[in-house]
Chain A
Amino acid sequence: MSEAPVLQDPDLLRRLLRAKDRMDAASHEEWPVGRLAEVSGVSEAHFARSFKQAFGIPPHRYLLTRRIERAMALLRETDRSITDIAFDTGWASLGTFGRTFRDITGHSPSAVRSQGKQTVRELGAVPECIVSAARRPGLTTAVSEKRRQAANGTNRPEQTQESS
C-alpha cells in the first residue's frame, strides 16, 4: 500500500493547477483529457498520470465532485427544478445525474434540497469558494466501485489502479 512519494516538478504542478482551476471555473463544460492536457501544456498520457499523482484523484473524478458540489449548492440555495440543475451542472441526462448524485452523496437530490435550506446563510462571512470546498463530496473511490461496495455492504480500501 505505501508508495514512496515521488517528487513532482513545481513548474509542472503549477501548470496542472491551471487545468484544475479551469475545471473549477467551468465544471459544467466538457473536459476531455486532451483539453486539460492542452491547458497544462503536457501530453494526454502524462497529464492524467501526473494530475492524479498531484491531487490524489483522476481528473474526471475531480470534475464529478465539482459538479455534484455545484448541484448541491443550487439545490440548497435556489428553487430551480432538479432537471434544470442537472443540465446546468453538466450532465447529459437527468437519469445519470440522479444516479451519480446518489452514488456520491448517499442521498437523492430532492432529499438534499429539503435538508439543506436552513443552513444557507450561516456561513455568509466565509468566502463562497471556501464554503463550497468544505462541502465538496469526498470521492476517494471510483463511482462504480462505490456502487459495488454499497451493493455488497462491504467497505474495501481504495483501488490503487484504475483508469480515469
Chain B
Amino acid sequence: MKQGIDVVGLYVRDQDEALSFYVDKLGFRVHTDVGNGGYRWLTVQHPEQPSFQLGLFLPGPPVHDEATAQALRAIVAKGAMPPLVLTVADCRAAYAQMLAKGVEFTQEPVERYGTLDAGFRDPSGNGWKMIQGRG
C-alpha cells in the first residue's frame, strides 16, 4: 500500500507500562522508539500489519500545557477516548492467551451477529473491542 493512514496515536499514562502491555501481552512489536530530553516518540505495530503504527504518546509538554495534559490524563483514565478495535482470527483463543498474561478484560467473548467479540482495556484505560474476523 502506497497511500493511507500511517500512524494513529493513543494517549497513555506511562510509556514503559504501555510498551510492555502492547508488546509482552498483546504481541505487538516496537516500530520506533526515539527520545529527546523528556520527549519520547514511541510507536508499535501489529506483526501482521506492518503498514500501520500505533503511537503510544504521553500527554504533556512540549505538546500540551500542564492543565491540558491533566485533562487528557483524566479523560484517558475515565475510559472516555474513542473505541479501538482489534481483529483476531480466534477470539476465544486470543482471550485465553491474553487473560493468562493478565490483560484486564471488560467482557469475555460473546457471540453476536454471527461472530465473537470480547472487550479489554490497556493499563491506561483505553478500551479495546476484540472481534473475530469473518474469515
A-to-B contact residues, CB < 8 Å = 7-8, 10-11, 13-14, 16-18, 20-21, 24-25, 54-55, 124, 127-130
Contact = CB atoms under 8 A, between A and B. Distances in A.
Interface string B66-102: 0000100110111100010100000000000000000
A127 B79 contact: no
B119 interface: yes
Contact of A124 (B78, B79, B113, B124): B113
A21 B121 contact: yes
A7 B70 contact: yes
Contacts of A124: 113
Interface of B: 13, 70, 73-74, 76-79, 83, 85, 104, 106-107, 112-113, 117, 119, 121, 124-125, 129, 131
A128 B131 CA distance: 11
Contact of B83 (A13, A14, A24, A127): A127
7 contacts: A10-B70, A10-B73, A16-B78, A17-B77, A124-B113, A127-B83, A128-B112
Contacts of B125: 13-14, 17
B77 A11 contact: yes
A20 B79 contact: yes
A20 B77 CA distance: 12
A54 B78 contact: yes
A24 B119 CA distance: 11
Contacts of B83: 127, 129-130
Nearest to A128: B112
Output the residue of B73, B124, B129 with the most chain A CB within 10 A.
Answer: B73
Given A14-B13, A20-B79, 11 more contacts: A10-B74, A13-B78, A13-B125, A14-B77, A17-B78, A18-B104, A24-B107, A25-B106, A54-B78, A129-B107, A129-B129
